[in-house]
Structure 1
């Protein structure tokens, strides 16, 4: 490791010391050979601070043509570097070249490489998709021999945004507690992950609000086939919500009572659906018609199937009214009134929520809202579950009606016959703010509120 000095981390055959330290064992042998064999035993517990990251150390080994099994740097791949993204393109009569941003290196180290030297077919395909998109917008046909600065700048920005979205996607999937995976894509513009948004899996209870937990549970051995006293729904004078396939069979507006943590039934009980979380792979994507982000399913979904909960911060209606004024000035809000029995609480998913935060409105939606009660007995605080109203194709966008029904503009509320209401994109519906609808359905009401 010529020229590195004694501060450089050693290439060691073993790493058994605490994290952040590397042993000297093998260090002197690497530098000085066998004349210090007697020193090795004496220095076997000696250690020095690790002043480089693993990525930096790996890159250093490749640069200095050193090989280390622990770092995966071998003779076969010692000269290989990872391509982070492609920045530019040019071609001659004989060959094509790409400007490469190398993983772990600053942009000042970008180099032009011939196509034959690159082994990144996915990145190359994505580069040309982005390039074609940009050229089409400029109404240009064919790829020029050399890209102008505006085009190459766009390609770099697009690649950087894609990397940020990939990191956000990974974060969402580390945070989620449900089986369904989350994917993120933006093939429309250069917008990255939303700012000031935290992904949560359950309600976050606001200050001064207390959830009343269930004190009892059912004693059924088979809640669907042999319910005792009607199981949990029967205890609340309601009927079982699901069939044996987990599909809801209640009319919209009727409440769902699931088995809770005090019930004696097993986790696979057919009366435990919403509490199992999102089961389908979903994709957050940027819409092309100015509706911001949206959500599409990546799998086929049957009719009357649970999709997701609407999750956010539970606040009082007074606090919701205050926040609504702020959201009105911003042009959007995510306030969902919980008025199953009385209008006391609201769910605010503006800054804390799950994937439902990104679900758009439609006047002809494929999702329907249901009140759900599981471990909380306070009917003023139902969980909000979204079920499919019909079969949904893979790749189709998921939507629900923010207004629930068509009401006169001067109405005091937007209630269904179930006393549900949504304070959708315009804040409080009492403000009578007219918000243009862009759902594009044949039955579009033209305005959300």
Structure 2
């Protein structure tokens, strides 16, 4: 429920604060119609009556009547039906092209119109659009607005921990932001589960070049995970031990990579082959670079089994087994998660999973981090193998080499679900499980 402050007319000298169930768009329309300013909505006396194009609803060509001064018939005039920001649709007006300085909105309108006409197998733009086409254009414009608001919210939440911006794009259908999904940056601990915070930290002045007793990794009898560029140098299957909140080193310590969060600009996009949402990178990612964590709600395996039966009926699940030592806990990212919720499977993935320990050293509850298996180009989709197999490694990889291969997403292999794979690579196994 939102609360807004409204500055009422001068004869009512009060600052009115009331809970409100209306959307911000509805409130802005009411304010502008009633001539009321609002600090929270950004409406002041200076911009109260300003008209800004929110989106374009319709298009037509009109042939002017009469003759021009030279006796020639003037060319058809292009008109656009404009939805004005902060005003109800009843205030929409037809405007000539020369009055519109919204280049991006015009480009988006014609992109949507071209795609719709292509879907209808029409080769030319009619002088007047039919109601079905107009309805589609309005829905696309409203969808783009919802996605933009979601994009800003996701970026703000993500940057509470990392620096990467999140973009959202849907050029395929009218699917909007997922319902019943809350974006989080860290594990949400389920009922009856507790995380034990580490009691000690390292005493290093320089964890990479002058580690004391091997720094945090050495204290756990493992190797230091990163090079001086922050790239992981351990084989898949070996655990990563990062510095924690009790360590002397600062936030820029080279042994604090995963905990600094997402650093790259990523885009949640709608796939065009029935795989729902996907994620692609907006910039180049170097090989062995950290990309994101798999975040969700930590639950017991018994609860995961119960939820798994429900998810199977819905045709999707987001259960990731935490079985570094014992198969006791699972991460469920169905309703609570970060951008990894939208990452798709591939039989030839560009992301690899590592188990990471930072403030909690309970080996039953590792953090799940994705690192790039190779150099990833800007615009390339990010994927990982839902049925990963870790090859046996040297003796340092104590427990993980024998237990990690039972981890699966979505749907643990224990459920024996036969799901068709749509990754499209040459080495595709045809089925996820």
The TM-score bracket by the shorter chain reads: 0.7 to 0.9
Partner of 1:47: 13
Q: Could you tell me how far 1:53 is from its partner in structure 2?
A: 6.2
Partner of 1:152: 134
Residue 213 in 1 paired to residue 183 in 2? no
Equivalents in 2 of 1:126, 1:351: separation in Å? Answer: 32
Q: Is the 8 A contact 2:420 2:430 kept in 1?
A: yes
Residue 180 in 1 paired to residue 164 in 2? yes
Q: Could you tell me how far 1:73 is from its partner in structure 2?
A: 4.0
Residue 104 in 1 paired to residue 86 in 2? yes
Partner of 1:115: 97
**What is the RMSD computed on CA atoms of the aligned residues?**
2.3
Alignment partner of 2:284: what SS? coil
Q: Could you tell me how far 1:379 is from its partner in structure 2?
A: 0.3
TM-score where L is the length of structure 2: 0.86
Partner of 2:317: 333
Equivalents in 1 of 2:275, 2:372: separation in Å? Answer: 21
Q: Could you tell me how far 1:54 is from its partner in structure 2?
A: 6.8
Alignment partner of 1:419: what SS? helix
TM-score where L is the length of structure 1: 0.83
Q: Is the 8 A contact 1:372 1:383 kept in 2?
A: yes
Partner of 2:46: 72
Residue 254 in 1 paired to residue 228 in 2? no
Q: Is the 8 A contact 1:58 1:71 kept in 2?
A: no
User: What are the within-5 Å matches in structure 2 for residues 231-380 of structure 1?
Assistant: 231-380=215-364
Alignment partner of 1:124 out of 76, 88, 106: 106
Partner of 1:40: none
Partner of 2:66: none
Residue 90 in 1 paired to residue 60 in 2? yes
Partner of 1:38: none
Q: Could you tell me how far 1:211 is from its partner in structure 2?
A: 0.5
Alignment partner of 1:400 out of 374, 378, 384: 384
The higher radius of gyration belongs to 1
Q: Is the 8 A contact 1:335 1:422 kept in 2?
A: no
Partner of 1:14: none
Equivalents in 2 of 1:196, 1:375: separation in Å? Answer: 29
Equivalents in 2 of 1:308, 1:173: separation in Å? Answer: 14
Alignment partner of 2:404: what SS? coil
Residue 424 in 1 paired to residue 409 in 2? yes
Alignment partner of 1:91: what SS? strand
Gaps of 5+ in 2: 18-25, 37-42, 64-75, 392-399
CA separation of 1:118 and 1:21: change in aligned 2, threshold 3 A: closer
Partner of 1:81: 51
Q: Is the 8 A contact 1:405 1:416 kept in 2?
A: no
